[in-house]
Amino acid sequence: MSGLRCTACGGDADYGARFCERCGAQLLQRCSHCGHRLTRTALFCSRCGASVDPVSQNVSVESVRTDPERRQLTVMFCDLVGSTALSARLDPEDMRIIISSYRKAAAKAVQDYDGFVARYMGDGILAYFGYPRAHEHDAEHAVQAGLAMTEIAPTLENAFGETLHVRVGIATGIVVVGDIIGSGESRERDVVGDTPNLAARLQGIAKPDSVVIAEATRRLIGDLFQLNDLGTQELKGIAAETRAFEVVRARSVESRFKAMRGALTPLVGRDEEIKLLLHLWGKAKDGEGQVVLLSGEAGIGKTRLVEVLKQRARVQPSACSEFRCSPEHRSTALYPVVEFLQRLMRFHECGSPVEKLARLEASLTGYEFCGPEVVSLIANLLSLPVGEKYPSLVGSPALQKRRTLESLVAWLCERAAEHPVLGIWEDLHWADPSTLELLGLLIERLPRVSIMTAFTFRSTFAAPWSKRSHVTEVEVNRLDGAAVESMVRALAKARDLPPLAVKRIVAKTDGVPLFVEELTKMLLETGALRAVGAIHGAGGDLADTDVPSTLQDSLMARLDRLESAKTVAQIGATIGREFEYGLIREVGEYDDPTLERELRRLCGAELLREYGVPPSSRYTFRHALIRDAAYNSLLRSRKRLVHRKVAEVLKKREGIEQSQPELLAHHFAEGQLPEIAIDYWQKAGEQAVRRSANAEAVNQLQAGLELLRKLPPSAARDSKELSLQVALGAPLIAVKGFASAEVQAIFTRARELCGVLHATGDLFPVLFRLRSFHLVKGDIQTAYDLGKELVELARRVGDPDLLIEAHYALGAAIYYGGDFPSALEEFRRMETFYDADRHGSHAYLYGQEPGMACLAYQACALAYMGQPAKGQQKLRAALAIAERANHPFSLAFSWTFAAWFHSVCGHASRTQSCAQTAIAVSTKYGFPFWRAMATNFLGGALTEQGRPLEGLELLLQGIDGIRVTGSEQGTVLWLRLLSRTYGALGRHADALRSIDESIAMSESLGDKNFDAASIHRVKGELLLARQERPDVATAEALFARSLDLAQRQGARLAALSAATCLALLWSARGETEPAQRIVSEQLEGLASAKGAAGLPVVQTARAALEALRKPLGKRECVR
């Protein structure tokens, strides 16, 4: 590429560049045939006469890169209209001249906008924007180049009187680019993907001298162009219908930011910055000119702050001057000023230079600084001929430049004499030297005028004006997590997003508002946020989410500028968001000098952060999306090879298999070695379970299962699946709840596999988990049957370790069925086999520490049976085991049962305390089932303490939480607590509705549930409490039903409550003797029970009995 190679450092440069971006030296364009130095406008070499084809000065195929890669590409296809007819009319030599002229003009248009002419196909031209080097606005550049072609073609002069016309099609998409095809001069980089074909088909539907673009391209250009929607098109060779747009013209926009961003999201996390900017604007309005330097990385929100300042300060358009620097015009003197003046005077509406000059004169009229020389200077700046109307410019070019700068400063300052002016200078990191010189002069004048200038630039730019009293520096930092969450929810509007998905967007976007906005919009449009909200494999953390198309070009541009260092970034990205020096050196097989140099370049470009000094250093990608862009640019085959190499290198490190099996699993999986990866995923999941990292365990074990499904059927495959399904049970129950559909699915599948494999040894934990599912789901009979099957299986095997869990499983089913004495007997059988040291590890296979669970159930059963002291002993022992076990799920289990125990005993304050502890543990470790259950007990306790409004809120929350887990077991109790709370609030209709729902559910189970006695009593109380029509007869029947059920269950406290209600009812109609007898009988049954005398229900019954012995009038029923 001899035409554009820097003679100072040897680096290649884009066609059209004036200075080397590596070393800053001026670039010399030379003839590719003889090496003679050329002027920039030369069409032929003045030494040898060779044609200066712009394509020959473009980046060569060989200089691009060696490896094919995936990348977003905007492809333009331009076709010469009527070329067949033209060929028929002209001699071939004459046609060759026309085609050559057309190609040169088209190639120049492409290269003027940083495009790359990839191929000439007869009269067609294929051009790429975004390859071999990406730029921040490639789609916009492609459209500008297309419009330029449609304008240039009809103006091309030829000796044959032919007027040329073109059609242009443009499309954007992901392609694979880089494979070299052809040989010699026909060598070129091939592009694979639908995008080139789509561009060609769009060209086919374009009218002569028009540009048609695809929907994906339209999304990338915002409102920068006026478009005609052509609707949905059926294009030959394109599978899906395609929406197409005709580009009419470029818009003259006051705010590029608004044109590109569209509707603005609510500003979050910037209150302090806005407050400061408004304060500075106030000072400027008072005649104290101000400069504010807004610095920060790309996408951090610098321009947005300025936009909000304009809104909050109510700056009128006439008082706001916006200047925009451009990466394509870093070598164009005073480009931001020229572009601003052209917009200000609306030159796009003018048909001739004369009209433009007239508008310039009108704009300058009335200003004191303006004289004929000033008009000539600014007309010269705007490339407007003045003829003899104004004096010719005199003096050296340097003097003319100085006078031009002074005139511009005078103009800007004099405008502020009319009203305060807000001057906005965007992207100073792309400013040309003359613009920076102008700003230096302006800043010197500002303290005495009513102007506030806001300069925005990236952190890499060092502003030379910071040490001034009227200059304020504002570094715009990343948003914190709370602000990002607010922004995501604002973008989602009314849609309810899964909290997990929101948190993962927070992690992915690193607090950069632009990244937050674009990633959230993409996920909302594709529906991916819902999928992310569910628990699934290791890929469920957005790790494999595509980079939004709106960010692809800018991110790839940063990588492309680094040339050879880009390969280091790609290998680092394959390792992960973070990587160590030693690891990337071994994986990439680099020598130290090379690797250190490339890492310095990556850090200098602010793509990486370095911690420590090589060879002990480590590196982190500054942005997750930069990492993604680097990683996604690799072909799958290349990714696979690098992942394998990473896995092989890591596996050699001592201790890595024990400390980070999930890391090995990830790299072996991505390296397409599933058998090895599955083993590591299982090891990682089992380790996570032991750490109570249940959500992580679920992800890891499901990742193993996902890989397993890709293996061919075999007994070994089925055996491994069974092992993974069983391992998945405990953490999935912890995260989702016992009765979730996912839990049922994995254990149903595991039972099938046990049958296929005749795996009797694995059948027991599978049946145990299925029993848990049916129990909590509310299917007590099935749970009981499975419990019996477990006992028989354990006895048949003769394993006491299995008998522990079998008797526990059966005892729990009997407990929930409401037979408390039988449940106690089953739990006591279990206790004979239990040894804390030996069986504590069962918690990791069966979900909870078995001794703790056995004691907790016994405590509650004893409470129902009216033996609180014995129950308290069991409860203390259960809590102690849970603490010693250091097993969070068991801890949440035990504290929830403690709340249950005290609720049965009627101790509201103790219930509250235990429930709050259970909620804290469950929230910390993510146990939704226990959290919801404890919330219900807390709500009931608050109601009993005279706080029913708070109780109602908690009960509604807890019942919803329970239902989310799939659980129906316990609903009878929760509805009873809810009914009592409605009753305490005087909402008797709601109270009756809730208790009726509870009774209906209980009766559907044949009243075989632990709370059956209490619910009938509560309904009776409600019927008596109705002021207008107390239903005494029905209430009496309900109390009798309650007493009968309680006696059959051995639930002495419930029996005492029902008996007390009956006694007071009978006493009210004069049946004092049977009333006294029924209460006395129930109290006698509790007389020997230690601790029973202090229970509220017993004290209430004794008080009622004393009252019955002194006949009074009608009495209210007690609880």
**Three-class SS of residue 672?**
coil
Between the CA of residue 950 and those of 348, 562, 955, 984, 989, what are the distances in Å?
Answer: 66, 61, 9, 12, 19
pLDDT along the chain (1119 residues), means of 10: 40 50 50 48 49 40 57 93 83 86 91 90 90 87 94 82 90 82 52 90 93 93 91 86 92 66 75 93 93 91 88 83 83 90 87 89 85 89 88 86 92 88 92 92 92 92 86 92 86 76 83 83 68 43 64 82 89 94 95 95 89 92 87 92 95 91 94 95 92 89 94 93 91 86 90 88 88 89 94 91 93 95 95 84 83 96 96 96 92 97 96 98 93 97 97 96 89 96 95 95 88 95 85 94 95 95 90 92 88 91 87 47
pLDDT of 186? 45
Helix, strand and coil percent figures for the chain, each rounded to 5? 60, 10, 30
- pLDDT confidence of residue 11: 46
The pLDDT assigned to 428 comes to 93
Q: What is the pLDDT of residue 2?
A: 34
Q: What six digits make up the tokens of 604?
A: 């200098």
**95 is written with which tokens?**
């046609």
Residue 29 confidence (pLDDT)? 59
| Residue 8, pLDDT score | 37
Torsion of CA 1021, 1025, 1028, 1031, to 10 degrees: 20
Q: For residue 554, what are its two tokens?
A: 């800018």
**CA-based nearest residue to 875, from 847, 905, 845:** 905
Nearest to residue 735, comparing CAs of 953, 966, 980?
A: 966
pLDDT reported for residue 907: 96
Instruction: Look at residue 661 in the predicted model and tell me its pLDDT.
Output: 94
Burial label for 543, CB within 10 Å (0-12, 13-18, 19+), is middle
Per-residue pLDDT at 37: 54
Q: What stretches of 251-402 adopt beta strand conformation (E)?
A: 290-295, 320-324
Q: Is 879 helix (H, G, I), strand (E, B) or coil?
A: helix
pLDDT at residue 278 in the model: 93
Residue 569 has, within 13 A of its CA and on its CB side, a CA count of 34
Question: Which pLDDT score, from 0 to 100, does residue 25 have?
Answer: 44
pLDDT for 64: 38
CA distance 785 to 565: 66
